[in-house]
Structure 1
Amino acid sequence: MSFLLAELDGQLARLVTYFGAPQSAVAAQLIQRAGYSSNLAGRVRKACLAAMLRKKSDEARRLRLQGIDTVARNLDLLSRLGRRAVDQAEKTRKIKLLRADTYVAPLTLVRKTVACIQEALDGQDSRLAVRIGQARGEIDTFHDRLFRTYTRDMAETKHTEDLAYALLALNEVSRMGEALEAISEALLSINIGQTVQFERYFTLRSVLAGVAGDEDDEISLKPLAETRSGSAISSVEMRDRKGRSVAAVFKDGDKRKVKEERVGVKSWNSVYPGLAPEILSYEKNGQSAALLIEHLDGETFEDIVLGGSDAALATAQKALHKTVRDIWRTTLTDEPAQMAAMEQLAKRMKDVIRLHPRLVPGAQTINGVLLPGLPALIDRAQAREAALPAPFSVYIHGDFNLDNVIYDPVAAKIRFIDLHRSRYMDYVQDVSVFMVSNYRLQVLDAATRARIAGVAVAMHEMAEKFARRQKDGTYHYRLALGLARSFASSTRFVVDADHARRMLLRARYILETALAVPEGREARFKLPVKDLFHD
């Protein structure tokens, strides 16, 4: 790495010299150095790969090696961009139109910035790493200014070919800013313990400002999850203003999604205090936003189902059922609710078909009997569902998957996370989502599958008792539509074709069975839930 940085410094010095006074001899010297930087970068990357394969690395070591690999790759890119910029500049015949001397300042900045990389890497200096990334802003400003000049010149001269080559040279220099930002991100990722984008680092610093102590303290991040909507969730370790160790959860992403999460948390804390985590800080920046949320002790329900003892699972289930029943009783209103499960499924079928086109055939004829395609069944079920609203509303989670429920065995308490879809709605929405989030777990051994089925069925049995007490006559029919929706739509997250086929066949069976019930007789319908969840 030291040799690579030294070699690149020499190449950048020649690059500055060339644009200060363009000469073909200097350009040739620069182009002849191509193999040097490429070979050195290759040796660094090869060493990083060998170090990762040689012995089992902890996460910090693996991330550092990946970061060094990224730095080497982008240093080599800087070298290639410089050569390409000179190559395009050499093609201009009327050299005055290139305005070569204007390149000296940004290229000098690139050289000075590259000179900081070794110090930032060795000292794990985040402030210096940030300065490296900030060079992109100055290079972008240079690009925009010179781009306007070139395009203006194009309207005033016949030498458009020369200006076209000049624009290509400008583009290569502009991309140097992107390479420096990528190096900055790699250095910051090494320092905080998780892959991080340049802007995300500032968002993190901003959202921590009201909670953390000394802003010079290093932050430790550990990845927790990547949501399907693109948000990233990480655990954060820091010290508050009193020097105490603080653990929190940092979530950032699209502003609308993060704002919905914030609203959901606040709503739960007013509707059912103590269930949702506390919001420590919130920041928005353009189209993105970030939350710092209280860290919750305990395990996700998914971890308990897959790895906990039978006793631990039984205790957690008892706590969950008790909490859910209490929420339903506490928040129940007389306002009817329309789950619209079939409408949701219809919107998601394109994604299902895109991933599993062979598992969702259209209408078929077997021995003269017409079998409608799944989309046709969904359309028919949607019309039936519209006439069967839930007789009351309760406040629901809205995305009641196993990994959004946390149980703390010490406090014997259930907590909810990922609350951006919470609202007053048919409780069957949560019941069906929870049940299928069990089934779609891609674990194949018989004992674990039986355990998963038991958790799903137990949730149904608890909800069924609640429905009887509330005289909810169409619970079973609405549950069938909710399960059909969740079985089918969940396959867009299941790559295993066999598992996806089982889920889609269950969705089809449920819809065919529900549609066979005469209109007006829905209250007499019952689904064989145990059979559906046992493979």
Structure 2
Amino acid sequence: MINAPKTIRENLRFLCAEIDGQLIQLEAFFKEPAAATARRITDRAGYAHNLKSRILAACVQQMAGARKTDRKHPALRSLEFVATDLQRIANLVRQSLRHAERIETFATLEPHRYPAMVSRVREGVARIEDAFLSRDSEKAIEIGQLQNRIEADYRKLFKVYTRGMRDPDRSPADIANSLLVASEFQRMGESLRSISEALISANLGQAVNFERYFTLQNLMSDLGTASEDVSIETIAETRSGSSISAIRDKKTETVTAVFKDGDKSKVKEERQGVKSWHSIYPGLAPKILSYRKRNQSAALLIEHLPGLTFEHIVLNEGDALRDRALASLSRTLKDVWKKTRTAEPAELGSMQQLAKRLEEVRRVHPHFRNTGIRFAGETLPSIDSLIHEAAAREARVTAPFSVYIHGDFNVDNIIYDPGENRIHFIDLHRSRYMDYVQDVSVFMVSNYRLQALDQETRRRISDVTLAFHKSVRAFARKQGDDTFEFRLALGLARSFATSTRFILDKSHARRMWLRARYLIEQALACPPGAEARFRLQMKEIFVD
């Protein structure tokens, strides 16, 4: 049971009772539309708002004095959503009343159909207090499931009203207002679903919706664990809409697995990527413990890997651990590339990728729009024209072989286990056979773009990128990859430019944007056919 402060419990009870009272009056209006009944609803508009405000204020006060790790914190946060949706139901009651009052021929509304819908909403409201205080997810689910019944009622009414549109004796305005009344009840059902999800979220300690909760339950049953025995902690939320969470045993406080859910196609790609790595290079990717799909969403339960992300190591650990991690990463990459090498040439296509993402970059940084630059009386070409020209050059310079790459080789997708001196990869939905320069350039720029701007950290970051480049360049030389540096210049340009869409610091973003332009200009300055002699001045690029 949740030990909520007395003032919150009391105001929640008062709010539920107030909403129930307004619903009773609305039902009475449908049975006998009287002005006095309507006034009893409209005159109490401010009371529900005041009760909601008291609950929100009390929740804020309680959370201000509690640590975020306190179990009360998610419960109080969820209660804010519950109170807000309860007041929303009160607003919808008044709106449905206004629409009903505009109906001249009241029989058009089919008012005898509404008491059942009102009863469903009242049933949901009546269950809220008990579901919240008892932390019973099953009771919370029952509240949300009422939406399905309300939705079914709405669809029946919708058919009745739309059929009435063909009746010349029916007033179009009356039918329109009847549809609006039904729509307000549909939205009441949606509010009950939102309240249900907020209550479940309070129990789990993390925001979930119905789809996610049922998927999690199924995955937990695959492990032989009840969802009530674990807590969920958000690790990351990806730009593709997926959510990644740690599943922690409440008794032992240990992380037992990682839960990733999102769009079915994205999760399917992740699953396929992990399976591919298991067959190509066992031990590098985590094990998939379970997979479930439901409608248009899906979820994976993935093995929790011990260790630290490379990002954490660069920003927080000492030079010795950083150097060990980098050495392990370099060895692992070279081994993967050697074992997966095929004779199929690979086209990097970095300039095409950049061209596709320019608009997204410029939505964040409008000052990167395509304008010519004047310098010493001369107008320099726009970056758009440089990209177009570089794309044509790049298409003629392919990698002499293909290897299996990660595909999204950012520093937070690499885990180093110091105990085992071992590297692991995560977030593998973009893995494929490709030019290894793709991963190299993404990794180097993902280090540079880390938003730690103090001098010592920037030095550590540049040390990593320079050492990594030296190692990979040696690999390229041994493999007879003569155009590695030329392709890398364009790959880095792509990564520098596209990464600015994640950087709001204008100075840092500008440094990256100018580096992208510089690299493209350097590549274009190389005479066609001389790409094998092209060399990058890495210190100029990565040392701030």
- Structure 1 length-normalised TM: 0.96
Instruction: Give structure 1 stretches of 5+ with no counterpart.
Output: none
Matches within 5 A, 1:41-190: 41-58=52-69, 60-156=71-167, 157-190=169-202
Summarize the Cα distance change of 1:306–1:135 in structure 2 as closer, same or farther, 3 Å threshold.
same
Matched, 1:419 2:428: yes
Summarize the Cα distance change of 1:514–1:244 in structure 2 as closer, same or farther, 3 Å threshold.
closer
Secondary structure of 1:209 counterpart: helix
State the distance in 2 between where 1:329 and 1:152 align: 69
- Among 326, 338, 351, the alignment partner of 2:360 is 351
State the distance in 2 between where 1:129 and 1:219 align: 18
Matched, 1:283 2:295: no
| Structure 1 equivalent of residue 459 of structure 2 | 450
* Letter of the 2:205 counterpart: G
The structural deviation recorded for 1:239 is 9.3
| Structure 2 equivalent of residue 301 of structure 1 | 310
Residue 351 of structure 2 contacts residue 390 of structure 2 at CA under 8 Å; is this kept in 1? Answer: yes
Summarize the Cα distance change of 1:447–1:214 in structure 2 as closer, same or farther, 3 Å threshold.
closer
* Letter of the 1:532 counterpart: I
Secondary structure of 2:165 counterpart: helix
The structural deviation recorded for 1:46 is 1.3
State the distance in 1 between where 2:145 and 2:466 align: 55
Residue 212 of structure 1 contacts residue 238 of structure 1 at CA under 8 Å; is this kept in 2? Answer: no
* Letter of the 2:93 counterpart: G
State the distance in 1 between where 2:157 and 2:484 align: 67
State the distance in 2 between where 1:52 and 1:430 align: 43
Secondary structure of 2:245 counterpart: strand
The structural deviation recorded for 1:354 is 1.8
| Structure 1 equivalent of residue 30 of structure 2 | 19
Residue 89 of structure 1 contacts residue 165 of structure 1 at CA under 8 Å; is this kept in 2? Answer: yes
| Structure 2 equivalent of residue 328 of structure 1 | 337
State the distance in 1 between where 2:463 and 2:219 align: 42
* Letter of the 1:506 counterpart: R
State the distance in 2 between where 1:122 and 1:164 align: 41
- The C-alpha deviation readout for 1:369-424, integer Å capped at 9, x for no partner, is 23111111111111111111100111110100000000111222110000011111
Residue 288 of structure 2 contacts residue 302 of structure 2 at CA under 8 Å; is this kept in 1? Answer: yes
Matched, 1:265 2:274: yes
State the distance in 2 between where 1:260 and 1:141 align: 35
- CA-atom RMSD in angstroms: 1.8
Aligned length: 532
| Structure 1 equivalent of residue 247 of structure 2 | 236
Secondary structure of 2:305 counterpart: coil
State the distance in 2 between where 1:64 and 1:347 align: 43
* Letter of the 2:530 counterpart: R
State the distance in 2 between where 1:245 and 1:315 align: 26
The structural deviation recorded for 1:319 is 1.1
| Structure 2 equivalent of residue 366 of structure 1 | 375
Residue 249 of structure 1 contacts residue 292 of structure 1 at CA under 8 Å; is this kept in 2? Answer: yes
- The C-alpha deviation readout for 1:306-343, integer Å capped at 9, x for no partner, is 00111211111111111111111111111111111111
The structural deviation recorded for 1:172 is 1.2
State the distance in 1 between where 2:68 and 2:246 align: 21
Summarize the Cα distance change of 1:360–1:80 in structure 2 as closer, same or farther, 3 Å threshold.
closer
State the distance in 2 between where 1:83 and 1:226 align: 38
Secondary structure of 2:486 counterpart: helix
Secondary structure of 1:388 counterpart: coil
The structural deviation recorded for 1:25 is 2.1
Summarize the Cα distance change of 1:127–1:489 in structure 2 as closer, same or farther, 3 Å threshold.
same
- The C-alpha deviation readout for 1:434-454, integer Å capped at 9, x for no partner, is 000000011110000010111
* Letter of the 1:252 counterpart: D
| Structure 1 equivalent of residue 7 of structure 2 | none
State the distance in 2 between where 1:278 and 1:59 align: 31
| Structure 1 equivalent of residue 4 of structure 2 | none
The structural deviation recorded for 1:66 is 1.3
The structural deviation recorded for 1:34 is 1.4
| Structure 1 equivalent of residue 543 of structure 2 | 534
Range with greater deviation from structure 2 (245-254 or 44-53): 245-254
The structural deviation recorded for 1:255 is 1.4
Range with greater deviation from structure 2 (366-375 or 271-280): 366-375
| Structure 2 equivalent of residue 313 of structure 1 | 322
* Letter of the 2:401 counterpart: F
* Letter of the 1:357 counterpart: P
Residue 358 of structure 2 contacts residue 498 of structure 2 at CA under 8 Å; is this kept in 1? Answer: yes
Summarize the Cα distance change of 1:453–1:10 in structure 2 as closer, same or farther, 3 Å threshold.
same
State the distance in 1 between where 2:454 and 2:306 align: 29
Residue 48 of structure 2 contacts residue 87 of structure 2 at CA under 8 Å; is this kept in 1? Answer: yes
Range with greater deviation from structure 2 (313-322 or 47-56): 47-56
The structural deviation recorded for 1:14 is 2.0
Matched, 1:253 2:262: yes
Range with greater deviation from structure 2 (451-460 or 351-360): 351-360
Residue 248 of structure 2 contacts residue 256 of structure 2 at CA under 8 Å; is this kept in 1? Answer: yes
- The C-alpha deviation readout for 1:5-53, integer Å capped at 9, x for no partner, is 1222222222222223333322221222212211111111111122223
- The C-alpha deviation readout for 1:253-285, integer Å capped at 9, x for no partner, is 111111111110000000000000011111222
Range with greater deviation from structure 2 (396-405 or 13-22): 13-22
